[in-house]
A and B are shown apart, each in its own frame.
Chain A
Amino acid sequence: MLVSTKWLGDYVNIKNIAVEELAEKITRAGIEVDAIIDRSHGMTNVVVGYVKECVKHPEADKLSICQVDVGEETTQIICGAPNVAEGQKVIVARPGAVLPGNFKIKKAKLRGEESNGMICSLQELAIEGKLVPKAYAEGIYVLPDSAIPGEDALPLLGLDDQVLEFDLTPNRSDALSMLGVAYEVGAILSQGIVLPEVSYTESAERAEDVLKLRVDAIEDNPMYVAKVVKNVKVAESPLWLQNYLMAAGVRPHNNVVDITNFVLMEYGQPLHAFDYDRLETEEIVVRRAEEGEKITTLDEAERTLKGHNLVITNGQEPVAVAGVMGGLNSEVHDGTTTVVIESAYFAPASVRQTSKELGLRSDASTRFEKGVDPERVAQAAERAAQLMAELAGGEVLAGSVVIDELDKTPARITVSPDTINNRLGMKISLEDMLSILDRLQIPTEAVSGKLVIDAPTRRQDLRIEEDIIEEIARLYGYDEIPMTLPVGESTPGGLTPYQAKRRTVRAFLEGAGLYQALTYSLTSKEHAQQYALETAPVTELLMPMSEERSVLRQSLIPHLLEAATYNVARRIESVALYETGSVFLGLEEDGLPKEVEHVAAVLTGKWVDHAWQGESKKVDFFVMKGIVEGMMDSIGQLDGLSFEQAVVEGMHPGRTAKILLNGEEIGLIGQIHPTEQKKRDLKETYIMEINLQKVLQTEVDEVLYTQVPRFPSMSRDIALVVASETSAGTLQAIIRNAGGKLLKDVRLFDLYEGANVEEGKKSLAFSLTYFDPERTLTDEEVVKAHDKVLKALTDEAGAVLRG
């Protein structure tokens, strides 16, 4: 909503307050003023000129040489506009003028002819092209004859004005009208307001006698008022009216249309003007459209209607889409003499639906959608009739043609001052409350200690006691509310164990060198299930914006790989990222997908890179595995963790494993398949993904101290040769099993395949630690235990001991 302060001044006295201060007060009271637009843009030296003579430039077809009376002198100005002509009153920027955009006007020579200034279009005065009346859209603006040469043109054009741009919240549709704004500003400044005085002379003929009215859809159109004005002379509107409209962001057309728009802006009640003769039937019937019925609207687009859309018809065919836009067939034109003014109440939901279906939003539909003031329906029609009599020379027929079943009862709200103060945490006196409501012109009575309020119909947002609390608080000032903290039962607060462990996981991964990524949940169908630990029917959007973001993901890996590719493409060759986030699986009984929180990571490039010391190491499976083990250890889940060689689509067949926790599959780890890597422009890349939710929900032992060893431990090393396919894990298990309770620790410290080892075999070396917490072990005991281990390795794995 654009509010011209010049226009606003017609209803409320704002002469004594600076516009910045006014804007601040309005904002603090509840309507955000987004901007203050100075329509003068600091222009000076822009005056009225009279074109006394206008001849073609001998050297240039498109230029005219004009002799212009600018008051103090007559001067020559070269003009390029096609519509410049002798006898016009025009806008002249004199030498020394500065136009918007810091455009300085100087004396100049154009093709040899002197030019002392510029004859201006409205666009050159910073009026948007779409607001300039069509007649002047392609050339200079022509002022009315009454303009006096030499007079300052800015006040004449209403450009000595500041416009407040409101960012209205949906509840404050009352401020979609100048009168509504006047009530608000009046309340803020503690001032009364002046409403327009509506009076005109009616002709003897009665409107009812020339127009029949029927409404067939009373629930969506409970009130319709039609007035008939004869003998109107369609012409350009007076300048003040055009100025007001342009300031409000509305393009002037002709006096009849401009009056309907003016009243719409003034009262917030949309009006429509039909050409009575073009209706042809002397009848208006409001009904629902027939399915597929067509109408060409004022914007010259053909619209196809649905059976629930409300239309205004002449009894035969639609002449307007109710509350949204008029039809081209009944439009007021230059030759119109009799006008039907329509002022109606259309149900918000109906207008919203129709406007949305037609993709057509207008100043009218935005107001009907929010619900117009029932009391102003008839008032606005009268105001328009008055202005048509005054400005278009019309004769207003007596009375109106009316159908009215609209409930205009104000909402009754009862609230006690204590409730208001308790809710706000304040101590506002009853007098202050009454005074605020009085400033807002909200009729209130204090009845046995309670406020009994009849909310004015212009304030559709006032319905319940909380609404009144807000009115009082916002005008009393939110700055006056004290600062307290909730009292009552104190709660410990804090993270749940699940949330705390999630933070531990994040902290571990970051400590291990991974950055936290945040990728999109929506993905393409192609990537939705790639690398998913578990698949279920994918959750699809009804109306996706693109195929790329059309379904919910079931794995975090594809987007993490995308992030890796993004970084690698920007020459960040080493990437280590992790993410925690939900995957979405199938549909549960309640209609929602199962959301499971996962953690995933991607590694590519170098893991160690310390160039000047010659240390550099690429990432590999075991870097990722170490991270997984460390992460699981950080939340007490290392003991049940195991890895099992696996073949997974899109993964390197020899370098991929399932991750198991207590024997149950919880994740995936490994290298991306080289062909997939190539597709994504990645080199060797490793990933892991784990069902974090399952892990965090797995019970964990409490941390319990075990005594720090008082007795020394003893170590024995073993070097073995086994078949290549025997896994280290198998050997380790054999050792642990055979070592008994004295074996404290087994550590692999060497792995070798190649020269000096038989083909098909490999050599491994383990270091075993024996320990008894109760005493120092003897050599014999260790030898005994160790021999058991060696025997088991030979028997169970066919291991050969190396010397």
Chain B
Amino acid sequence: METQLNQLKDEALAKIEAASNTKELNEVRVAYLGKKGPITDLLKGMGKLPAEERPKMGALVNVIRETVTTQLEERMAHLEEQAINEQLAKEAIDVTLPGRPVRTGNHHPLTRVVEEIEDFFISMGYEIAEGPEVEKDYYNFEALNLPKGHPARDMQDSFYISEEILLRTHTSPVQARTMEAKDGAAIKIICPGKVYRRDSDDATHSHQFTQIEGLVVGENIRMSDLKGTLSLFAKKMFGADREIRLRPSFFPFTEPSVEMDISCFKCGGDGCNVCKKTGWIEILGAGMVHPNVLEMAGYDSSAVTGFAFGMGPERIAMLKYGVEDIRHFYTNDVRFISQFHRTEA
């Protein structure tokens, strides 16, 4: 009987080992441990044994049953794991295949520049002022200290609609309109927008382009305030270690007038092709608002002063991104616009 039992055990263990999948293993389980299996049969046949052998044989049968059960469970766990692994292996993918593209567009590079400038000045408490692109000669020129007959208002240089109406040549008329509307109150504004000049389109000229200007008017606004503001702006826009310098210049609507250079953001001031070996890059024009401009808008120029500055987003974008031809901004080539999709910060 004992021999028979051991033989049975070996046979069961061999079959467990041989089972190659869970189904086969279950068959083994049923065959050996099921109600009709040989071990159950043996247990059932215990009654026929002499009484003194029963405990020994009973214990032996139990040991065998436990051994087989344990083996079976282990084998089952193994086979299950193997089955999962096989399944996972089948499910493997080529992770180098391209992902499903998420379709997005992006800002035009000029909008990107304009919004960056707007956001900086908004954080400094400025508002955004906008105005018409078709303007009165009065706001475009006269109110800005460019009286009739002034050389800068040549008919050849501007798109006139009539004697008195033209496409604005700069965004400064928005300043004139804002000052007039504010009726003597303090002002802190940024004026972005499209402007037009009678130029033939080429690599550096465009009959339509954009400008962004700023204006601060109030009591005791000083040139040092202009310098401090522009310095912060330069650092924000072109890098924290940018330095600025002011050079005297001339605009009819400001006095004193300056041009602002920033230390070259490419070479840091050592001289390179971006700064034309000078270490400095001209970025904007600025100045203290001309008393005539203040007076014409209804301010008392002895009590109120102001500063103004203006720049060209095209020029800034060309410098910042290395764009060589202004016409790229207006041909709307997707291969151009789509290059400005990502953040730089």
Contact = CB atoms under 8 A, between A and B. Distances in A.
Given A30-B249, A488-B220, A521 B208 contact: yes
B248 A29 contact: yes
Interface string B215-252: 01011111111011101100000000000011111100
A704 interface: no
A291 B264 CA distance: 57
A134 to B, nearest CB: 32
Nearest to A473: B256
- Which of under 10, 10 to 19, 20 to 34, or 35 or more describes the interface residues of A? 35 or more
A520 B288 contact: no
A572 B326 CA distance: 22
Interface stretch (B5-13, B82-90, B127-135): B127-135
Contact of B250 (A28, A169, A519, A592): A169
Nearest to B110: A518
B281 to A, nearest CB: 14
B101 interface: yes
Contacts of B198: 543, 545
Interface stretch (A75-83, A193-201, A209-217, A418-426): A418-426
A518 B98 CA distance: 32
A424 B134 contact: no
Contacts of B30: none
Contact of A486 (B101, B149, B216, B338): B216
Interface string A607-648: 111101100000000000000000000000000000000000
B105 A513 contact: yes
Contact of B256 (A466, A488, A545, A578): A466
A29 B106 CA distance: 43
Interface stretch (A221-229, A230-238, A477-485): A477-485
Given A423-B288, A466-B288, A541 B329 contact: no
B155 A483 contact: no
Contacts of A520: 207-208, 330
B247 A521 contact: no
Interface string A539-564: 11111110001001000000000010
A236 B154 CA distance: 40
Interface residues of B, number: 86
Contact of B108 (A484, A516, A539): A516
A470 B248 contact: yes
B308 to A, nearest CB: 13
Interface in B320-345: 329-335, 337-338
A522 B167 CA distance: 10
Interface in A290-316: none
Given A470-B255, A592-B132, A488 B248 contact: no
Contacts of B220: 422, 487-488
Nearest to B160: A542
Interface stretch (A336-344, A492-500, A781-789): A492-500
B232 to A, nearest CB: 8
Contacts of A726: none
Interface string A26-54: 01111010000000000000000000000
Contacts of A474: 248, 256
Interface string A567-589: 10010100111100110100000
Given A369-B151, A466-B291, A481 B229 contact: no
B134 A470 contact: no
A481 B105 contact: no
Contact of B223 (A349, A424, A490, A612): A424
Main secondary structure of the interface of B (DSSP, over half): mixed
Interface stretch (B16-24, B39-47, B55-63, B116-124): B116-124
Contact of B222 (A422, A509, A549): A422
Given A422-B220, A539-B161, A509 B105 contact: yes
Contacts of B124: 485, 493
A518 B329 contact: yes
A334 B37 CA distance: 140
A486 B217 CA distance: 10
Nearest to A575: B334
Given A169-B250, A170-B152, A423-B222, A496 B128 contact: yes
B135 A483 contact: no
Contacts of A549: 207
A97 B155 CA distance: 52
B196 to A, nearest CB: 7
B290 interface: yes
A510 B333 contact: no
Contacts of B127: 491, 493-494, 496
Contacts of B256: 466, 469-470, 473-474
B1 interface: no
Contacts of A28: 245, 247
A493 B125 CA distance: 4
B201 to A, nearest CB: 9
A516 B162 contact: no
A514 interface: yes
A316 to B, nearest CB: 32
Contact of B228 (A27, A485, A503, A607): A485
A170 B106 contact: no
Contacts of A577: 105, 332, 334
Contact of A521 (B126, B194, B229): B194
Given A492-B125, A518-B330, A567-B333, A591 B155 contact: no
B107 interface: yes
A496 B288 CA distance: 27
A488 B229 contact: no
A86 interface: no
A506 interface: yes
Interface string B146-164: 0001011011100111101
B103 interface: yes
Nearest to B231: A483
Contacts of B49: none
B291 A464 contact: yes
A510 B105 contact: yes
Contacts of B121: 493
A542 B330 contact: no
Contacts of A513: 103-105
Given A424-B222, A543-B155, A32 B247 contact: yes
A425 B105 contact: no
A512 interface: yes
Contacts of B161: 539-542
B330 A519 contact: yes
B305 interface: yes
Contacts of A582: 133
Given A352-B151, A422-B220, A493-B123, A515 B106 contact: yes
A464 B118 CA distance: 34
Contact of B104 (A32, A510, A519, A570): A510
A545 B158 CA distance: 11
B111 interface: yes
B331 A595 contact: no
Contacts of B305: 423
Given A478-B245, A483-B231, A539 B134 contact: yes
Interface string B164-179: 1101000000000000
Contact of B247 (A27, A490, A539): A27
A29 B247 CA distance: 7
7 contacts: A170-B250, A473-B248, A484-B227, A488-B186, A542-B159, A584-B133, A590-B136
Which A-B residue pairs are the 5 nearest by beta carbons? Answer: A425-B224, A30-B248, A169-B250, A425-B222, A470-B256
